[in-house]
Structure formats: structure tokens, C-alpha cells
Amino acid sequence: MKLESAMRADLPAASPVTAAGDATVFVIDDDPLTLGALSSLFRSVGLGVKVFASATELLEYPLPAVTSCLVSDIRLPRLSGFDLQAELGRLGINMPIIFITGHGDVPMSVKAMKAGAFDFLTKPFREQDILDTVAKALERDQKRRSEERYNSRLRERFESLTARERQTMAMVTAGLLNKQVADKIGISEVTVKMHRGHVMRKMGTRSLADLVLFAEKLGIRGREMND
């Protein structure tokens, strides 16, 4: 069983990112014609769009917690696209960035990609190319956000365990038998079984295999844990 399946019932169902209202594309360009054209293009396929004439404007805007990506010119007034990319990284904002430019070259493209850009398109580009790239970027952001919600729920479940239950989970998922866990902790095997049952229930899993995957994801498998 895959890790995701054990908690599937607790996660919101994923919907297509191209559905109206489900995603937002942020666009930065100091050319009003480009802003207007891209805004119309993205809205034509049902995407939400927010446009800015500079990187500074974007940084002053309260970004909503929705599936999103950024389409930005590299050459911008005051802060360049690369400067913005670095600032967003410093702020912990991880939405995919697609750089566009009319002055692109190989070194610039390499620099953008090494810095973590999702893609790099040189003007003029085909409408379908930018739409395809944005769709892929939004899909990545949607998966990232889903994974973050999943990890948060998993951590909440782990935090609900008592100290002894966490100990038991760490040892059981490391491969120790109930008797070995009992000897190591200094409690009865019956008590270990009780703790193990509580762990399985609180973590929302019915199999040891899933519990092992949870422990690995949490980084606690086999780890020494205090009472």
C-alpha cells in the first residue's frame, strides 16, 4: 500500500488546476501590452490572473494560499527577475517561476534554471507553449501544497501520541518484536501491545508496513526517544 493511501480519506480531493478559481498566475512585466496579452490568454482558459508592473509591487501584495505560479520578465525596473527570485526564496515562497525575456541567451537560461526557475521562455513565444508551461508549473505547485498539507496532518497525528507511544512506534518500526521492545523499555509485553494498538489507531493505519512508511517520513524510525 502506498503511503498516501493510508490517509487518503483525510485529504481534500485534488481538482484540475485549470478549473476556474482553482489557480492563480501572477504576471510581472513592465510592458503594458505584454501584461494585457498574457492576462487575456490565461483568463481565456479559466485561470485567475494578477498582474504587476514591477517586482516590488508583487512583494507588497499579500499572496493568497492557493495553487499558483509566477510568470516574470527578467529585465525589470529596480528589482530584476533574478533579484525577485532570490527574495522569494528568502521569504520561503516556493511557487514555480517561469522567466520570460526578449533578450535571452544560453548563460542567462542556465543561471535561471540553476537558481531554481521552473522554465525559461524567450520572446516571442507561442501561446500554446506558455499555456503548457504554466499548466505544468501549476500542477507542480498543487502537488507541493498537497504534500505540505499531508505532512502537516501526519505531524499532528504524531504529536497526539504520548511519549511512551512515540518510543514504541520508533522501536516497532525499526523491526523490534514486542518482547524486544518490552525488554528495552522495561515494561511488560502486554503493555507494549497496548501502546502499539494506540499508535496504530492514532496514526490512522491498520498495517505495520504503513506505520513504517509514516515513521520514515517523520524521521523517527529506530530513533532513540526519551520517555
Domain covering 160-218 in this structure, CATH number = 1.10.10.10
Domain 3-153: CATH superfamily, name plus number: Response regulator (3.40.50.2300)
Does position 105 have pLDDT exceeding 80, yes or no? no
Instruction: Convert the pLDDT of each residue in 127-152 to its tens digit.
Output: 999 999 999 999 999 999 999 999 99
Instruction: Convert the pLDDT of each residue in 175-196 to its tens digit.
Output: 999 999 999 999 999 999 999 9
User: Which of 64-68, 106-110, 155-159 is predicted with the least confidence, judged by mean pLDDT?
Assistant: 106-110
Q: Average pLDDT for residues 150-175, to the nearest whole number?
A: 94
Q: Please determine whether the domains at 3-153 and 160-218 fall in the same fold group of CATH.
A: no
Per-residue model confidence (pLDDT) at position 32 = 94
The grid cell for 158 is: 504524531
For residue 197, give the nearest of 174, 180, 178 by alpha carbon: 178
Does position 7 have pLDDT exceeding 60, yes or no? no
Q: Average pLDDT for residues 58-82, to the nearest whole number?
A: 92
Q: What proportion of the chain, given as a percentage, has pLDDT over 90? A: 71
For residue 119, give the nearest of 140, 89, 96 by alpha carbon: 96
Q: Where do the structural domains in the chain lie, given as residue ranges?
A: 3-153, 160-218
Does position 46 have pLDDT exceeding 90, yes or no? yes
The pTM of this model reads: 0.75
| Contacts with 28 (C-beta within 8 Å, 6 or more apart), sequence order | 51, 52, 53, 54, 55, 57, 58, 70, 71, 72, 73, 76, 81, 84
